[in-house]
Structure 1
């Protein structure tokens, strides 16, 4: 059996739209440059494809500036997919835009109906459980609704808490292999990863924690040399991709694809 938590045959991505300049951001550190973002996105898709995976590339959505961050719209599991309910009102419509692509590849598609909210960026699937971080975008009711669906499919879900001032749980962590998690010290200090092997990103390189293990590769944001070196020493094959423009919108490597 292949390992479902980091071995993937397919991914879904969406090209950034010109409206990306109006994307949500926790603090304004500059307007994203569309050309630079498109170049980095092309590199990202090429890295996914280089592992032999099929990448479904969806067209830009001008009406939804944040739609490039497809991960927040759905959770893809081996048994089926769950359409999310984003906590940012301007992003709710993205789910309906993603639904046809999900239904085309999954027979069993459920949806979070509310009143709660939950976004994919707060969900880390490991071999033993689904970790869901409560955050400004994911509330208790959203977590509870997902827990019911996950239980029907035989998954154990555990609610944890995203640090204050951190947008999504996965802003600060990512799965490296069956038992290893890359995390910031502040998130690990909460005790949420007890029983896992945890690798800490280098001090001052907290943004490197949002990486993805995709088949044989670890895709991480460029510009964090100490963390990249540490991962290479640990035996991971690291591919560094520019994240300067996505970072202006609190986005990272995991946000840019749905993987299944």
Structure 2
């Protein structure tokens, strides 16, 4: 039996476009290099496909600079997809652009978060036992309440947690690496939100490595964090490192770049 929290048959990605230079960012640490981002994106897609998964790569959306970060538009569960309502106004149109691709797999089994709720996929961590959702500047209580009502009908338990101050998304600071194991920053782990789970804390100075994904047999993480990679390998995980230098300039990470189902 598949574990739907990390075993996937399909993924959807979207190529970054020229407009990526205008993407949102909490802090300006440089303009993204599109050529380098495209190279890294190709490596990311190839890594997903290397597990045997079908990967749909959608074309760029020049009207939406942040559209490469597809995870924020949908939550994909085995039973249905839920269309998010991004907290960033400039990103709301991305959801409608994603619907046709999702409908190709889910048909009419797509629920929708509505105003005044806001919620983005970057704040949602699906584990082997529950759905954790972090409040953030992009995700509000009304959005979480709507999502809770939707998933409860399918037997999912949803738990609201706090995202550390100054952190864009809940998953900026964590990633699932096994059904009961979470890679986390210390600042998030000490909050107690992962009590009952096995927690691997990223070494000090490598906090950005925490946004990783488990995709079938692989743990995919940002390159440049050798102590985290060594720790994961020592725990028996097959690690693949992907250049995230350009996405990081837009507060993006490994989970942001795909919808996995």
What TM bracket, shorter-length normalisation?
A: over 0.9
1:129 aligns with 2:130: yes
Hey, what does 2:56 align to over in structure 1? 56
Map 1:41-80 to 2 at 5 A.
Answer: 41-80=41-80
SS across alignment from 2:30 = coil
TM superposition score normalised by structure 1: 0.99
Cα distance in 2 for residues equivalent to 1:178 and 1:21: 36
Cα distance in 1 for residues equivalent to 2:74 and 2:114: 13
- Tell me by how many angstroms 1:116 deviates: 1.1
Query: Per-residue displacement from partner, 1:177-199 (whole Å, max 9, x unpaired)?
Result: 11100000000011000100000
- Tell me by how many angstroms 1:113 deviates: 1.2
Hey, what does 1:83 align to over in structure 2? 83
SS across alignment from 1:166 = coil
SS across alignment from 1:176 = strand
Hey, what does 1:191 align to over in structure 2? 192
Map 1:135-150 to 2 at 5 A.
Answer: 135-150=136-151
Cα distance in 2 for residues equivalent to 1:199 and 1:177: 11
Cα distance in 2 for residues equivalent to 1:203 and 1:90: 34
Hey, what does 1:39 align to over in structure 2? 39
- Tell me by how many angstroms 1:127 deviates: 1.0
Hey, what does 2:102 align to over in structure 1? 102
- Tell me by how many angstroms 1:145 deviates: 0.4
Hey, what does 2:239 align to over in structure 1? 238
Q: Which runs of 5+ in 1 are unaligned?
A: none
Hey, what does 1:160 align to over in structure 2? 161
Hey, what does 2:222 align to over in structure 1? 221
Most deviating of 104-113 and 87-96: 104-113
- Tell me by how many angstroms 1:257 deviates: 0.1
Cα distance in 2 for residues equivalent to 1:150 and 1:62: 33
SS across alignment from 2:204 = coil
SS across alignment from 2:104 = helix
RMSD of aligned C-alpha atoms? 0.4
Cα distance in 1 for residues equivalent to 2:149 and 2:24: 30
Map 1:249-260 to 2 at 5 A.
Answer: 249-260=250-261
Most deviating of 101-110 and 235-244: 101-110
- Tell me by how many angstroms 1:54 deviates: 0.3
Query: Per-residue displacement from partner, 1:161-191 (whole Å, max 9, x unpaired)?
Result: 1000000000000001111000000000110
Cα distance in 2 for residues equivalent to 1:154 and 1:106: 19
Cα distance in 2 for residues equivalent to 1:63 and 1:153: 35
SS across alignment from 2:75 = strand
TM superposition score normalised by structure 2: 0.99
Hey, what does 2:202 align to over in structure 1? 201
1:10 aligns with 2:16: no
- Tell me by how many angstroms 1:114 deviates: 1.9
Cα distance in 2 for residues equivalent to 1:80 and 1:96: 16
Q: Which runs of 5+ in 2 are unaligned?
A: none
Hey, what does 2:20 align to over in structure 1? 20
Cα distance in 1 for residues equivalent to 2:128 and 2:209: 22
